Amino acid sequence: MSSRLAAILLGLVMLATACGSTEVSTTADDRPTPPSTTSTTTVAAITTPEAEAWDLVVLGDSFANTLGWPTQLADLIASDFGVATSVDGDVCFGGCTSLTRIRSSETLQDLIADAEVIVLQPQPGRVITPLWRSYFDGECGGTDGLECFRQAEDEFRGYVEELFDEVIALSQPGAIIRTTQATGTWAIDAFHRGLRDTDPDTFDAFLENMLDLSEHIAEAAADRCILVVDVNAIMSGADYRQPVNPDYSDDGSHPSQEGSRIIAEALHDLGYEATVGGC
């Protein structure tokens, strides 16, 4: 365990002993510790003068570009605790996955092992792109023409579970692990312009597939006590069917600075409790 994480855990013990309640604790310079939104327990801020910078590691596809919401989240963490917060990780797209990148890179494994905060965005593109191609080519299979969707959903479920388990195994005790449901429900219009109007049945099939993938992420996260931000709802509305707000995305697929700000704040609002294994 790193000295900085040990300091956090020591602060938590001291807080529980001294207060015996869920009152908000303070740092040496009276900076308030952000409360968790999912538990009555808060994690005490770093109080030792030897505290080092925090490491935020983000794994995902181009939606998780470190210049967007990851950087904004790091700024929020730094503001809360008064320590520099670096952003690192891996952005992987074009057929690769975070899981294969982790298993083939000792550098990435070390980053995960040293991180105080880890945010995962399981890549949906590895599933969606070939599915849509098969569907349009009439090669999806099944009496309803959607068999390839079901097969891919089963594969994706297994992939997400393996990814979560791999990251949990590599991370240090007390690491804060979060994930996003960001399967791109908002991006159908960008990938297939006009589809929702010209072929609503196909639009609905694609949307349902994305929501099934998203549900697999939520279920796997809940089984491991990983807290989740539903990016699909942020970008596509509560019913997941709305065209993306142009303020949230410049290209219809990736978050703009404003969209990134909202995603970063949603992750920040989850608090700092290390929930893995605690539900």
Q: Coil, helix or strand for 135?
A: helix
Q: What's the pLDDT at 4? A: 53
Q: What's the pLDDT at 70? A: 95
> Is beta strand 227-229 parallel, antiparallel or unpaired with respect to 176-180?
parallel
Residue owning tokens 């298993």: 103
Q: What's the pLDDT at 224? A: 96
Helices 147-170/106-114 angle, 10° precision: 70
Q: Domain boundaries in the chain? A: 1-52, 53-268
N-terminal to C-terminal alpha carbon distance within the chain: 22
Q: What's the pLDDT at 136? A: 83
Burial of 17 (0-12, 13-18, 19+ CB in 10 A): exposed
Q: What's the pLDDT at 38? A: 35
Q: In tens digits, what is the pLDDT along the chain, a chain of 279 residues?
A: 555 545 444 444 343 344 443 333 333 343 333 333 333 223 333 333 334 789 999 999 888 887 799 999 999 999 999 999 999 999 887 667 899 999 999 999 999 999 999 999 998 877 777 787 888 888 999 998 889 888 888 999 999 999 999 999 999 999 999 999 998 899 899 888 999 999 999 899 899 989 999 999 999 999 999 999 999 999 999 999 999 999 999 999 899 999 999 999 999 999 999 888 777
- 180 φ/ψ sector (left φ>0, alpha ψ -120 to 50, else beta): beta
Q: Are 33 and 45 in contact (CB under 8 A)?
A: yes
Question: What pairs with residue 165 in β-bridges?
Answer: none
What is the rounded CA–CA span in Å between residue 249 and residue 185?
Answer: 13
- CA 40 vs CA 35, 59, 206, 229: distances in Å: 8, 29, 39, 19
Helices 147-170/125-136 angle, 10° precision: 170
What is the rounded CA–CA span in Å between residue 194 and residue 201?
Answer: 13
* Tally of CA atoms within 13 A in the half-sphere of 24 that contains its CB: 12
Q: Coil, helix or strand for 232?
A: helix
CB burial of 152-166 (b: ≥16 within 10 Å; e: otherwise) equals bbeebbebbbebbeb
53-268 CATH: 3.40.50.1110
Q: Could you tell me the two tokens for 150?
A: 């079901």
Q: Could you tell me the two tokens for 41?
A: 């327990």
